[in-house]
């Protein structure tokens, strides 16, 4: 193996000047690039179907529980969703420029653009964290902590008074130190079948957004590694598949959000429009 | 000397602008009560936005037919999943308590 | 394909004599354990998979033995009903997810694909190795749960049973299968990219061996189906952890949605299991009847058609589950469409055999068995896709017999044929032909004796998944257990003589079968580490036979 590999590495060296640019089992840098590119698209195909399972569940339950899903969606803040959409799209722009820099062979520019992408991605997650914290106070986490009666009541109060801090007694609850729901609210939920339906909405909301967030965090990790390599000039106009691939991945994450935004945030936006 | 010539920078900024405009448009239309049209409108705008991202950020505009086939295949399969699933739910009288008829159904049990 | 530099001769009879003992091949150029566990060579990874899956097969077979032993008598006297439930679950999970789904692609496919298309390796060798480790990790999780605690849901994990009434072993199994799914996805991804981007010069799409087409179609299913089961199992896990009722009717959810998502993957998964054996059977039938496959392009197209059709028929598993009657009609009708490409395959094989110079070497014996058993399995599937008869047959032994005819009679027998065919290429040695033929015959006889009575007993109404049954079913069950014993012996023989032959078998030479595809004509047996010393250039069809092939002279190395 050693002998043969050396031979092939030698060939690559002669042709292009950088040993790492061409793995031994490829014939040309074009073949290698096209293989990597196709592989990434194939991976994204599986991602489409991976999220597709959740979108299928969403479609069915939304069809079955249309009214409650709209009311539940109304609890979310479409303004924050819209801001986050634009933040994430902006991070896609910076990512596009990172790939462009790789095509031009500008190593330091790759690092800078990827850094910007991480910053705006983190801003997105920061806003998301704020939303989730608010959601915890409304008791819409789909656990035993969930309370639909409380959520609707506090949401209606919030619409008028904006008093996020005046949510009843300051007791430690399930997450984010949210207040504990009084027993009569739990009693009221148990008699209301809509509570279960709303809980399903929030289950879908949290699983879809957290799966999306998980993808972003994985993206941060990959980008960090690529930044280190790029800093040392590892990528050239002949070999930038990793940069291009993380770019495709990041745009895919953006795509998912483009659909999550109307499906989750805008579904009930018309209900709250008058306030 | 690159494998692929880089795109013009202004296309990315123009794309960004278009996506921002569409985001605002979809938000505004969602605040209006369009009734049965609201979901098609929201999803229609989302599809346009997605197409812009795919075509220009992901360079599918200038990519090989194979890449387009791969995308088409995944979208086709997603459509099959959603629509064929729906043939069941749309044609079945599902009885898990649609809230308006909760009383009637609970009377049955 | 983009530019390919070539410096190789046109397809011609191999210029060099096969290495006589002293040559460097992929087996002997490095021999440490680390060199195997860290290998990036597709051939070695194929063997790693083969070893792992054989171990899983033995384990799954052990549970099958327990089940058959229990069913000798009508009373549940050998084991408790609980342990019986855990046994058939373990049998199902191990055989379906850890044996049948990766069986042919990961072992024979990994080994043969690059050889068949003239490539030095798969497109992503590192991913290939990772996929094996992912398989092992998934197997570890699942085995701990299945053996350590036991899961009694059946391999389908239907909700709300799997989410409400059970211990946390379900969670562990689901985790294992979730992880395992990525192994399958990585293999599929690797194969598709390899077939698109790594073919040697002149290897057009319609010059590829049909096994490659089958692997391609399989990979498409793996890529598009597996993520759906992954997210579904994740939802089951989350439902158990958080107590949300996404599939629990008491909490507003819909258990049938689980079945939809499960079968969206698990019906196509049947084709992940059966397409590669269908493909490898093409190679056998063509080689051993000394004729090109009749209707090559129809055969290639049928593989793709099966892959696509497999995604639009899944709800035929749910006719009695509360599916809308309209949807049931729709899916029943669509299910019949799968019979068309399957029928095309069977008829093209028969047409290939017709007036061929057919032989009875052991791989070909398996192929004959495969055609018959696959046909019976497929035809009985039509009984089950018909709405009226399915009401009668659902959840009886008829279903058990049907899918064993497809999965064991089809997939395992096809795999055995492929393995016996490829073995001389893998290790450069021949196995004892007499024992191999014995094993092929024992498997065929034992298999039919085991599962044909189950058609009858199922037709009479014996339900599956019970450890007791009424007295009148005993005769057929005793037949079945007796057949399983014969079948067990049939499987045991290759487990003994194949490893033996690696060390003591007769030297095989480059092309003992006189096959005409690149893997046989242009590589040594066993191949060198990088398969081809010079990149081959293909100039014609994959199957070009001269009828006067002499096996003895081929074995002698000419
Ligand atoms: Cu099926």
pLDDT digits 0-9 by tens, C514-531: 888 898 988 888 999 888
Tell me if C273 sits within 8 A of C411, measured CB to CB: yes
Give me the interface pTM, i.e. the ipTM.
0.89
pLDDT in tens, A186-223: 888 888 888 888 989 999 999 999 999 999 999 999 99
DSSP codes, A97-160: HHHHHHHHT-HHHHHHHHHHHHHHHHHHHHHHHHHHHHHHHTT-SSSTT--HHHHHHHHHHHHH
**What is the pLDDT, as a whole number, of residue C514?**
86
pLDDT in tens, A2-13: 233 333 433 443
- Set of chain C residues whose Cβ sits within 8 Å of the Cβ of B74: 224
What are A79's two structure tokens?
């303004």
Strand partners, C528: C531
**What is the pLDDT, as a whole number, of residue B75?**
94
Phi, psi of C102 (to 5 degrees): -85, -5
- Flag whether pLDDT at C159 surpasses 90: no
B21-49: average pLDDT? 89
Asked which of C391-395, C424-428, C521-525 is least confident by mean pLDDT, the reply is: C521-525
**What is the pLDDT, as a whole number, of residue C49?**
96
Residues in chain A, overall count: 275
- How far is the C-alpha of C472 from the C-alpha of C552, rounded, in Å? 54
- Flag whether pLDDT at C423 surpasses 90: yes
The range of the structural domain enclosing residue C165 comes to 39-556
- B33 near C CB under 8 A: no
- Flag whether pLDDT at C98 surpasses 90: yes
Best mutation target, C32, C123, C220, C236, to test chain A (most A CBs within 10 A):
C123
- How far is the C-alpha of C380 from the C-alpha of B103, rounded, in Å? 46
- C312 near B CB under 8 A: yes
pLDDT in tens, A91-149: 999 999 999 999 999 999 999 999 999 999 999 999 999 998 888 888 888 877 788 88
Between A170 and A19, residue with greater pLDDT: A19
Tell me if C182 sits within 8 A of C150, measured CB to CB: no
| pLDDT band at residue C232 under the 50/70/90 scheme | very high
- How far is the C-alpha of A177 from the C-alpha of C236, rounded, in Å? 28
- Flag whether pLDDT at A172 surpasses 60: no
Place of tokens 């096969």: C18
**What is the pLDDT, as a whole number, of residue A173?**
47
Tell me if C97 sits within 8 A of C180, measured CB to CB: yes
CATH number at residue C111: 1.20.210.10
Place of tokens 């909490």: C251
Query: Is the residue at C34 inside a domain?
Result: no
- Flag whether pLDDT at C348 surpasses 90: yes
pLDDT in tens, C282-340: 999 999 998 889 889 999 999 999 999 999 999 999 999 888 888 999 999 999 988 99
Tell me if A25 sits within 8 A of A232, measured CB to CB: no
- C52 near B CB under 8 A: no
- How far is the C-alpha of C310 from the C-alpha of C298, rounded, in Å? 18
* Cβ atoms within 10 Å of C333's Cβ, excluding its own: 12
Report the topology of domain A60-265: 1.20.120
Structurally, chain C folds into a number of domains equal to 1
| C-beta atoms of A203 and C29 within 8 A | no
pLDDT in tens, A222-251: 999 999 999 998 999 889 999 999 999 999
> If we measure between CA atoms, which residue out of A90, A132, A134, A135 comes closest to residue A113?
A90
Helices C474-504/C42-70 angle, 10° precision: 150
- Set of chain B residues whose Cβ sits within 8 Å of the Cβ of A100: 6-7, 9, 12
Asked which of A6-15, C77-86, C214-223, C357-366 is least confident by mean pLDDT, the reply is: A6-15
Distance C512 CA to ligand 1 centre (A): 39
**What is the pLDDT, as a whole number, of residue A137?**
82
- Flag whether pLDDT at A14 surpasses 90: no
- Flag whether pLDDT at A168 surpasses 60: no
Strand partners, C506: C430
| pLDDT band at residue C542 under the 50/70/90 scheme | confident
pLDDT in tens, B14-27: 999 999 999 999 99
Tell me if A37 sits within 8 A of A187, measured CB to CB: no
Tell me if C428 sits within 8 A of C525, measured CB to CB: yes
List Cβ neighbours of C435 (8 Å cut-off, separation of 6 or more). C493, C497
Distances (CA, A) of C462 to C391, C465, C468: 14, 10, 10
- Sketch the domain layout of chain B as residue ranges: 6-62, 64-109
| pLDDT band at residue A176 under the 50/70/90 scheme | low
Global pTM value:
0.90
Residue A133's Cβ-count burial label (10 Å; 0-12, 13-18, 19+) is middle
Tell me if C108 sits within 8 A of C18, measured CB to CB: no
- Set of chain C residues whose Cβ sits within 8 Å of the Cβ of B83: none
| pLDDT band at residue A177 under the 50/70/90 scheme | low
pLDDT in tens, C461-497: 999 999 899 999 999 999 999 999 999 999 999 999 9
- A86 near B CB under 8 A: yes
> If we measure between CA atoms, which residue out of C427, C430, C435 comes closest to residue C551?
C430
DSSP codes, C196-229: HH-PPTT--GGGS-HHHHHHHHHHHHHHHHHHHH
| C-beta atoms of C242 and A39 within 8 A | no
**What is the pLDDT, as a whole number, of residue A160?**
53
Query: Is the residue at C406 inside a domain?
Result: yes
Query: Is the residue at C451 inside a domain?
Result: yes
Tell me if C452 sits within 8 A of C61, measured CB to CB: no
Tell me if C61 sits within 8 A of C494, measured CB to CB: no
Place of tokens 């994985």: A218
Tell me if C244 sits within 8 A of C217, measured CB to CB: no
A161-168: average pLDDT? 45
| pLDDT band at residue C273 under the 50/70/90 scheme | very high
């Amino acid at each position: 193996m050693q002998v043969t590999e050396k031979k092939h590495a030698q060939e690559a060296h002669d042709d292009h000047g950088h040993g790492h640019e061409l793995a031994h089992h490829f014939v040309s840098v074009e073949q290698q690039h096209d293989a990597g590119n196709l592989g990434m698209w194939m991976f994204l195909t599986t991602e489409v179907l991976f999220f597709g399972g959740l979108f299928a569940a969403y479609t069915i339950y939304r069809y079955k529980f249309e009214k409650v899903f709209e009311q539940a969606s109304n609890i979310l803040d479409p303004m924050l969703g819209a801001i986050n959409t634009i933040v994430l799209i902006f991070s896609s722009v910076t990512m596009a420029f990172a790939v462009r820099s790789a095509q031009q062979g500008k190593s330091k520019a790759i690092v800078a653009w990827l850094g910007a992408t991480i910053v705006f991605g983190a801003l997105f997650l920061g806003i998301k964290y704020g939303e989730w914290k608010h959601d915890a106070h409304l008791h819409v986490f789909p656990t035993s902590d969930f309370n639909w009666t409380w959520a609707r009541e506090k949401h209606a109060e919030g619409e008028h008074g904006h008093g996020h801090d005046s949510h009843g007694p300051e007791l430690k609850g399930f997450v984010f130190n949210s207040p504990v729901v009084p027993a009569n609210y739990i009693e009221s939920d148990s008699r209301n079948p809509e509570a279960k339906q709303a809980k399903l909405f929030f289950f879908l909301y949290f699983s879809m957004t957290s799966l999306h967030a998980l993808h972003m965090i994985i993206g941060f990790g990959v980008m960090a590694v690529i930044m280190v390599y790029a800093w040392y000039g590892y990528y050239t106009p002949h070999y930038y598949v990793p940069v291009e691939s993380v770019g495709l991945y990041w745009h895919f994450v953006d795509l998912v959000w483009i659909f999550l935004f109307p499906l989750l945030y805008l579904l009930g936006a018309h209900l709250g429009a008058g306030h | 000397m690159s494998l692929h010539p880089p795109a013009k920078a202004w296309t990315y900024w123009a794309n960004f602008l278009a996506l921002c405009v569409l985001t605002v448009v979809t938000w505004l239309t969602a605040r209006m009560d369009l009734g049965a049209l609201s979901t098609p409108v929201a999803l229609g705008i989302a599809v346009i936005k997605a197409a812009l991202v795919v075509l220009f950020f992901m360079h599918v505009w200038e990519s090989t037919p194979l890449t387009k086939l791969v995308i088409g295949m995944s979208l086709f399969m997603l459509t099959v999943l959603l629509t064929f699933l729906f043939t069941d739910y749309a044609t079945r009288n599902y009885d898990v308590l649609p809230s308006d008829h909760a009383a009637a159904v609970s009377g049955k049990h | 394909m983009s530019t390919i530099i070539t410096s190789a001769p046109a397809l011609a009879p191999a210029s060099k004599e096969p290495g006589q003992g002293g040559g460097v091949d992929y087996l002997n150029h490095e021999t440490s354990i680390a060199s195997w566990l860290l290998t990036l060579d597709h051939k070695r990874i194929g063997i790693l998979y083969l070893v792992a899956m054989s171990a899983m097969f033995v384990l799954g077979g052990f549970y099958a033995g327990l089940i058959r032993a229990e069913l000798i008598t009508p009373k549940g006297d050998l084991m408790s009903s609980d342990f019986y439930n855990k046994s058939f679950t373990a049998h199902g999970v191990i055989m379906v997810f850890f044996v049948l789904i990766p069986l042919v692609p990961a072992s024979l496919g990994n080994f043969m694909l690059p050889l068949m298309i003239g490539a030095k390796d798969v497109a992503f060798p590192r991913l290939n190795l990772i996929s094996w480790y992912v398989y092992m990790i998934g197997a570890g999780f699942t085995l701990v749960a299945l053996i350590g605690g036991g899961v009694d849901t059946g391999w389908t994990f239907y909700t709300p049973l799997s989410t409400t009434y059970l211990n946390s072993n379900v969670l562990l199994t689901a985790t294992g299968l979730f992880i395992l799914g990525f192994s399958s996805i990585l293999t599929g991804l690797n194969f598709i990219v390899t077939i698109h981007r790594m073919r040697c010069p002149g290897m057009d799409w319609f010059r590829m061996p049909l096994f490659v087409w089958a692997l391609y179609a399989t990979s498409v299913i793996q890529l598009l189906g597996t993520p759906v089961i992954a997210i579904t199992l994740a939802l089951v896990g989350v439902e158990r952890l958080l107590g949300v009722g996404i599939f629990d009717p008491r909490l507003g959810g819909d258990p049938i949605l689980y079945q939809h998502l499960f079968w969206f993957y698990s019906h196509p998964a049947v084709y992940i299991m059966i397409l590669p054996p269908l493909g490898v059977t093409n190679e056998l039938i063509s080689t051993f009847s000394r004729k090109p496959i009749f209707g090559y392009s129809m055969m290639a197209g049928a593989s793709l058609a099966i892959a696509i059709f497999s995604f639009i028929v899944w709800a035929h598993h749910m006719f009695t589950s509360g599916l809308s009657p309209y949807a049931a009609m729709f899916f029943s009708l669509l299910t019949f469409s799968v019979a068309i490409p399957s029928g095309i395959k069977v008829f093209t094989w028969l047409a290939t055999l017709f007036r061929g110079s057919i032989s009875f070497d052991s791989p070909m014996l398996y192929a004959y068995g495969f055609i018959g058993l696959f046909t019976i399995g497929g035809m009985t599937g039509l009984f089950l896709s018909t709405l009226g008869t399915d009401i009668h047959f659902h959840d009886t032994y008829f279903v058990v017999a049907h899918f064993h005819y497809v999965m064991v009679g089809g997939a395992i027998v096809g795999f055995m044929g492929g393995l016996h065919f490829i073995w001389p290429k893998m290790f450069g040695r021949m196995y004892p032909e007499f024992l191999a033929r014995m094993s092929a015959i024992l498997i065929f006889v034992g298999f039919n004796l085991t599962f044909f009575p189950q058609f009858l007993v199922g037709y009479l109404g014996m339900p599956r998944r019970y450890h007791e049954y009424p007295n009148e079913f005993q005769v057929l069950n005793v037949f079945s257990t007796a057949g399983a014993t014969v079948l067990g012996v049939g499987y045991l023989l290759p487990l003994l003589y194949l490893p033996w032959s690696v060390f003591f078998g007769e030297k095989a030479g480059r092309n003992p079968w006189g096959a005409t595809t690149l893997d046989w004509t242009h590589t040594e047996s066993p191949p060198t580490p990088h398969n081809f010393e010079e990149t081959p250039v293909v100039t014609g069809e994959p199957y070009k036979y001269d009828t006067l092939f002499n096996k003895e002279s081929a074995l002698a190395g000419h």
